[in-house]
Structure 1
Amino acid sequence: MRRIVSLLCALLLILFATDCCAQGTPLLKDSDWNFHFQITGIIQAHPTFNAPYSGQNSLTPEGEKAFSVTSTIYLGRKLWKGAAIFFNPEMAGGRGIGSTLGIAGFPNGETFRIGNPEPVVYVARLFLQQQIALDKNDFEDVPGDQNQFEEKLPASRITLSLGKFGMADFFDDNEVSHDPRTDFMNWALMNNGAYDYPANTRGYTYGFIAEYIRPKWALRFGTALMPTYSNGPNLDFNYFKANSQTIEYERKYTIKTRSGNVRLLGYFNVSKAPNYDQVVEDKLSGVDTSMDVIYGKEYGGKKFGFGISADQELSRSTKIFARLGWNDGKTATWAFAEIDNTITYGIRVAGYAWKRPADNFGVAIITNGISSSHRNFLNAGGYGFMIGDSKLPNYGRENITEVFYQLYLLDHLWLSGDYQFVLHPAYNRDRGPVHVFAARVHIEF
C-alpha cells in the first residue's frame, strides 16, 4: 500500500510539472487545479476541579493547559472528463488537555488521541473521484472549496470516490456543526458521537464511497477499513474480517423559502473489538483478569448504530441544528469516541444585528450516554482508549454546554473564544464539573 501511495504522489507531481512546463500554456490553469490551505491553533485550559479519585484515563483534576496545531494543504487536479485526484498533506502537533483522556465528548476536535506533542507530517487524504452525469440538460453551480472545484456539475449524478480520506468528509454532514476549526469544537458536535466511524488514530481510512445525487435528495454508501486495534495508527487490510459499511439518505427541503437538510445514517462494523460483558465475565471467573479491550484477540466483534442529523435556516443570520445517535454498545469503541448514545442541538447566529456579519456566535447542548454493558465494564475497573476512572459507582449522563464567538479579523483570519461546561465527565457523578476555556486562531484560503 505504501508503494501505491508513493506512485500516486509521483503521478500527481508529474501532472503538476507537465502543466507548469507545457509550452504556450499558463503555469496553472485555474479550471484544472484546485488549491486551498488552512492552519488552526488552539490553546485550551481548565482550572482545578473536584475529583475524589482518579484512574489512568481520568482527566487530571489539577489545572492545566494544552496547545494544538494542524495545517493542511488541499491540492486537486482534474484528469479526464468528470475525474479528479485530491492530495492533502497535513501537519499536526501538540496535545489536548489531559492528553485527550477523561471526557467522552472531548472539548477539542482538533486534537487526536495521541500523546506525542511533536509536529508530524503525514498524508491525510489521497483519493480519486469520478463524476458520472445522469442528466446532461440540468446543471448546478458548485462553489469552490477544499477538495471541491468551482464548476458546473450535473444536478443528477453519481459520484465515486476511492482512496484515503475521512468518512466524515462524506457522511454525517451538518451545515451548522461539523468543523472544529471554525464552529463548535467538541467531538460530539463535529460528528455524531455514537457513530464509531472507521479511522486510524488521526481520523482517516482507506475506502470506497458511492453517491447517488439528485436535486432534492442523495443516497450514499461507503465501505472502509478498520484500525488493527482500538484507536490504532494502522489500518487492518484483512478486509473480509475487519470492515465498516455506512449508508446515508439526505433530504433537502424548504420552509417558507428557508432551506433545511435531514440526514438518516446507519452503519455496521466488524473488527477485533472485544465484547464488554465477556471481558467482565472473564475477569470475575479468573480466566483473564487483564480486562483488555484495546488489543482484540480475535475477529468477530460487531457493532451497529444509527444517526439523525438536521439543520434549518431560520433567517439570513440564524441557523439551528440537532443530532441523535445510538449504537448497541456491546463491543468496545474501536475508532471515534466512547459514546453509545447522544443528543445534541444548538444555534448559530451571524453578527448582522451588531453590524459584524462575518462574525458568528453559537450555543450548543450535548448529552452523552453509554450502554449498561459499557457501564459495568468501567465500574469493574476497565479502561477504554479515552475514559476510565478505575471505577464507576455513580453513573450519570455526560452533559456538556458549549458557547463560542468567532471574530473575523481580516481576510482569511479568524479568532475565536470558546467555553465548555462539562457535567459528569466520563459519565462519573463523583468527578467535576469541569470548566474548559479555549482560544482559537484559524487561517484559510
Structure 2
Amino acid sequence: MLAFSAFRRLFCILLIINAIHAKAQTVPAQSNTPPAPPSAAPSPAPDQKTPADTTRTRSWSLHFQQTVITQWHANFSAPYTGEYSLRPRESAKTSLTSTVFIGRRLWRGASIYFNPELAGGSGLSAARGIAGFTNGETFRIGDPAPKLYLARLFLRQVWALDASTTPTDDAPNQIAGAAPTRFFALNVGKFSLSDYFDQNSYSHDPRSQFLNWGLMSNGAWDYPANTRGYTVGAVGEYVTPSFALRAATSLVPLEANGPILNKHYHTAHSETLELSRTYAVGGRAGTVRMLGFRTVADMGDYHLAMLRDDRDITATRVNGRTKTGFGLNAEQELTEQIGAFARLSYNDGRRETWAFTEIDRSLSAGLSSTGATWQRPDDRLGLAVVGNGLSTAHRDYLAAGGHGFIIGDGRLTYAPEMIAEAYYSLNFPKQHATVSPDYQFVLHPAYNRDRGPVHVVAVRLHVAF
C-alpha cells in the first residue's frame, strides 16, 4: 500500500503541474490529440513550425509483425553439465512470434490498443544455460507448440500541457496525427514495461536489432513480467522536448518467471521510475536515461537456501521480500550513419531473480551503423559487447549446487559472463521484410569458467507492415 500511495501522490503532483501549465496558457490545447509513442525521438521546440496535419481524422491503426529466428551453436567443451546448463551438443532451434497491433482513437487524447500474439518454438537448451541468453524472442516455456494469447490491452490518455504539437506517423500502437510536445499521459492495462522504460534507439528490439537479452535491456533490471514478458499495471508519463519522467506500478509473477501474475497487489508489486534527458553535442542528438526499481514478492533468499541440504531456494520464500536496483542508459549519434550506446545496471542480488534473467550487474556498449557508405542506406550493422556478473550470495549459491530458472550447472568456477554480438540486417522495403544473420561469442556461459566458450549463429526473418 505504501507503493500505491507513493504512485498516487506522484499522479496528483503531475496533475497539479498540468493545471498550472493550462492556467498559464492563453491558447487552448489542440483538440483530437493522439498519443505520442513511448520511444519517441526528441520533439521539435514549441515555437518550431510543423507541417499541416493531414491525418487528423485518422481513427484506427492496424499493423502486423512476424519474426522467425533459427539459432545454432557449435559443440563446446563441458566437463560437467546440469539440468539448467546449456547443452554442449544440440540441434538448431527455431522461435516464432506473430503480433497484430490494433489501435482505436476514443475521445480527446484517448486511445485503446489491443495486441493478440502467437508464439511458439524453443530457444537453445529450452532457453537455459546462459544468463544473457542469445535469443530475445524466445521464452522459458517447455511446450514448443504455438500458442495464441493476449500480449497487450491498454488504455492511453494524453493531456496536452500547451498548444504546441508535432506530427506523428501511423505505427504499431500509435495512431497518426498531431501529438502534443508537452504532455502528461496515463497508460493502464496489460503491456510490457519495456514499451516505456529503458528505451534505446540502437539496442532495444530483438526483432530488428541485437538478439541478446543483455543488449535489449539493462540486464540487472529484473523488470516485472510474466514468462512472456507482459504485466498488468499503470504507467504515468510527464514528457517535454528536453526531458521525460516516467513512473510505473505493476503486478509481478506468482512464482519466479511464472506465467501467472500475482493479483495480491498489497503484498506483491513492483515500482519503476525513470528520468530521461535529451541533449546535443556538436549538433548530434543524445539521450541519457536513469532508472530505478523496487520489487516486492515472495522471493527466496540465497543465504538461507545455502543452509539447506537440498539447496531448494523455493523453500525459503516469504511474503514481502524486496529487490532494488538501478540502470543507466545512454545513446549518442556520432555521424549521420553511426550511433553509439552504453548501459550500466545493478541490483542488490540478495534474493532470487524473479522475472527477467539471472544478472545482478551488467555493463554493455556498442555501435550501430546504416549501410549508406556501401549504398544500402536501409540496412543496419550492429556490433556490441556485454559483461554480466553476480552478487556474492548468488554465486556462492550456484557454486554449492543451487540453480535458478535460467542457470545452474551443479558446480561453478566463477567468472563474469562475457558476450560479443554482431548482426547485419538486410532490408527489403518493398517486401516489408528484413533478413539478419547474427553471430554471438559467449565466454564463461552461466558465469562458469569450466564451460565453453560458445559460438552461436542465427538467421532472423522479420516481416512488418
Q: With structure 2 as the length reference, what TM-score do the two structures score?
A: 0.87
**Whole-angstrom distance in 2 between the partners of 1:321 and 1:55:** 35
Quick check: 1:241–1:270 contact (8 Å CA) kept in 2? yes
Match of 1:408 among 402, 422, 427: 427
Two-structure CA RMSD over aligned residues (Å): 1.3
Aligned-pair CA distance for 1:142: 2.3
Which residue of the partner structure matches residue 179 of structure 1?
205
Name the % identity: 49
1:80–1:73 Cα change, 3 Å: same
Residue 145 of structure 1 is matched in structure 2 by 171
Deviation sequence 1:134-159 (CA, Å, 0-9, x none)? 112x1122232211122211211101
Match of 2:8 in 1: none
Matched, 1:105 2:132: yes
The residue number in structure 1 matching 2:191 is: 165
- Between the two proteins, the alignment pairs up a number of residues equal to 410
Structural mapping, 1:376-415, within 5 Å: 376-392=396-412, 394-411=413-430, 412-415=432-435
The aligned residue for residue 324 of structure 1 is 344
**Following TM superposition, where does structure 1 have runs of at least 4 consecutive aligned residues deviating by more than 4 angstroms?**
none
* Aligned amino acid, residue 428 of structure 1: N
Counterpart of 1:36? 63
Structure 1 gaps, min length 5: 1-27, 284-288
Q: CA deviation at 1:292?
A: 2.7
Offset from partner CA, 1:323-381 (integer Å, 9 cap, x none): 00000000000000100000000001100000000011110001000000000110111
Query: What is the aligned counterpart of 2:218 among 171, 188, 192?
Result: 192
Amino acid at match of 2:291: L
CA contact under 8 A between 1:415 and 1:440: conserved in structure 2?
Answer: yes
Residue number among 200, 203, 208 corresponding to 2:234 in the alignment: 208
| 1:302 corresponds to | 322
Matches within 5 A, 1:3-18: none
Q: Which amino acid aligns with 1:363?
A: L
> Could you tell me how far apart the structure 1 residues matched to 2:458 and 2:314 are?
30
1:114 aligns with 2:141: yes
Q: Is the 8 A contact 2:301 2:317 kept in 1?
A: no
Deviation at 1:29, TM superposition (A): 9.8
Decide whether aligned partners of structure 1 residues 226 and 194 sit closer, same or farther in structure 2, where only a CA change above 3 A counts. same
Cα distance in 1 for partners of 2:230, 2:316 equals: 20
**Aligned position for 2:301:** 275
The match for 2:32 is: none
Answer yes or no: is the 8 Å Cα contact 1:229–1:295 preserved in 2: no
Point out where structure 2 has 5 or more consecutive residues left out of the alignment. 1-54
- Asked if structure 1 preserves the Cα contact closer than 8 Å seen for 2:126 and 2:140, the reply is yes
Mapped contact 2:202–2:340 kept (Cα < 8 A): yes
Which structure 2 residues correspond to residues 346-361 of structure 1 after superposition, within 5 A?
A: 346-361=366-381
Q: Deviations over 1:387-417 (max 9, x none)?
A: 000011x100000000000001342111000
Aligned to 1:286: none
Question: Residues 47 and 64 of structure 1 are in contact (CA less than 8 Å); yes or no, is this contact kept in structure 2?
Answer: no
Is the Cα contact below 8 Å between 1:270 and 1:301 reproduced in 2?
yes
Aligned partner of 2:448 among 425, 428, 437: 428
- Structure 2 equivalent of residue 16 of structure 1: none
Aligned partner letter, 2:189: G
- Tell me the distance in 2 between the aligned counterparts of 1:161 and 1:294: 34
What is the CA–CA distance in structure 2 between the aligned matches of 1:410 and 1:82, rounded to whole Å? Answer: 32
Any conservation in 2 of the 1:407–1:415 contact (CA below 8 Å)? yes
Distance 1:232 1:29 in 2: 42
User: Does the 8 A contact of 2:56 with 2:177 survive in 1?
Assistant: no
**Structure 1: distance between partners of 2:126 and 2:276:** 36
Q: Which amino acid aligns with 1:397?
A: P
Check conservation: 2:133, 2:214, Cα contact below 8 A: yes
Alpha-carbon distance in structure 1 between the residues aligned to 2:228 and 2:311: 25
Residues 19-168 of structure 1 aligned to structure 2 (within 5 Å): 31-136=58-163, 138-168=164-194
Name whichever of 110-119 and 293-302 sits farther off.
293-302
- Deviation per residue, 1:182-234 (Å, 9 max, x gap): 00000011111100000000000000000001110000000000100001000
Output the CA distance in 2 between the equivalents of 1:203 and 1:294.
22
Which amino acid in 2 is paired with 1:317?
A: Q
Report deviation, 1:294.
4.7
The CA distance in 2 between the partners of 1:346 and 1:421, in whole Å, is 15
* Rounded Cα–Cα distance in structure 1 between residues aligned with 2:347 and 2:268: 18
Q: Is the 8 A contact 1:253 1:259 kept in 2?
A: yes
Q: Distance in 2 between matches of 1:295 and 1:301?
A: 14
Query: Matches of 1:246 and 1:254 in 2, distance apart?
Result: 27
For residues 277 and 56 of structure 2, the distance between their equivalents in structure 1, rounded to whole angstroms, comes to 35
Partner Cα separation in structure 2 for residue 359 and residue 75 of structure 1: 28
Change (3 A) 1:152 1:295: farther
Q: How many Å apart are 1:49 and its aligned residue?
A: 0.2
Offset, 1:295 = 7.0
What's the secondary structure of 1:353's corresponding residue?
Answer: helix
1:294/1:385 contact within 8 Å kept: no
3-state SS of 2:166 partner: strand
Partners of 1:194 and 1:72 in 2: CA distance: 27
Q: Structure 1 residues 297, 274: CA separation in 2 closer, same or farther (over 3 Å shift)?
A: closer
1:426 counterpart SS class: helix
Residue type of the alignment partner of 2:325: G
Displacement of 1:291 after TM fit?
2.5
Partner of 1:231 in structure 2?
A: 257
Q: CA separation in 2, counterparts of 1:65 and 1:265?
A: 36
1:173 aligned counterpart, secondary structure = coil
